[in-house]
Amino acid sequence: MGEILRRDDLIPPGLPRGQEVVAEGRALGKAIKIGRTRFMDEHGVESEAEYKRGMRERGELMLHFQFGLSDWKESSKGLLHIHQQIAQRGGRVDRFGICLDRIMGLPAHMRDGLQPETGLKLKSADEWLAVGQTVPIQPHLGDHMIGSPASVANLTLALQAGVTTVGNLAHYFAYDYPQWKDEPTRLVETVKALGIMAQLKDRGVILHSNLCDSPATLFDDRANYVGWAMLERYIVEELVGAELAHCFGNVVTAPGCAWLFSWPSTRFMEVRRLAPTSTPTPCSAPTWTETRPP
């Protein structure tokens, strides 16, 4: 017979109780002042969720693009160019996403000296704030935020910059970080960040998770895929008290499958859609962001 795993084998000794960590995160959340982006000022909203719910009521589709070079100076030039070109053509885009470099998921003191990858590195508090002030398009920060060893620090900087939908919970279950071996600390940082999100839920702050970044992509059928989403929602909404929005589509190569999936996810997860957010990429179906409305 195989070795029997017991609860004590899975939980490291000395790990604090989850509710104590959540309470610590809630206390931190009370001290965080959520910033305002140019997008919020232009549309007169307090959060992306408020704007998204307005779009839902009007039956409109939100538009999102993913962008980012490895340097903020060059990224900001690119954002300005994209915004100007869209405006000249009479178009509209509501949100842009930034792919941070993986080393951004590590504490700041560990980043120097590590080999960077191709994602964006934000190197100062001013650069974090500039993310929401460069163009009147709402920023979204997903990669290497909540779920990383730097969950609390990165989340705090994002909220101060006016980013109110923050990801990506799926990274906790699927991503590793160079030279990081302290899994208990990473877990505590993640749960503490969830506590911050719970404290600020009434301010329109929503946790994001990309199912296609999670272990759900390894499952053989969509029933288990939805089951993983239900597990994440149970952790975030029922155990912690924050609000969770899922997106999917990266590995759903047939657009029809993505549209069909929106029905069982709504039924079995008891979620109702916000305004869907379409990401026009050639390799994936539209990404739908869903959540439970108040």
> Is residue 62 included in any domain, yes or no?
yes
CATH number at residue 216: 3.20.20.240
Q: Which residues contact 15 (CB under 8 A, 6 or more apart)?
A: 184, 187, 188
Cα-trace Rg, the chain: 19
Total structural domains within the chain: 1
**pLDDT class of 252 with cuts at 50, 70, 90:** low
Kindly indicate the confidence band of residue 14, based on its pLDDT and cuts at 50, 70 and 90. confident
Residue 1 lies in a domain: no
Do the domain assignments include residue 7?
A: no
In a domain, 12, yes or no: no
204 by DSSP, 3-state: which?
A: coil
For 38-42, 53-57, 101-105, 154-158, which range has the lowest pLDDT when averaged over its residues? 53-57
pTM (global) more than 0.95? no
Establish if 229 belongs to a structural domain: yes
The answer, yes or no, to whether residue 233 has pLDDT greater than 70, is: yes
Token pair, residue 70, equals: 């490895």
Residue 9 lies in a domain: no
Peptide bond into 168 cis (omega under 30): yes
Q: How far is CA 51 from CA 62, 68, 225, 238, 247, in A?
A: 10, 24, 29, 25, 18
Render pLDDT for 128-138 as a digit per residue (tens, 0 to 9): 999 999 999 99
- Choose among 126, 125, 127, 55: nearest CA to 98: 127
183 is in which domain, residue-wise? 24-291
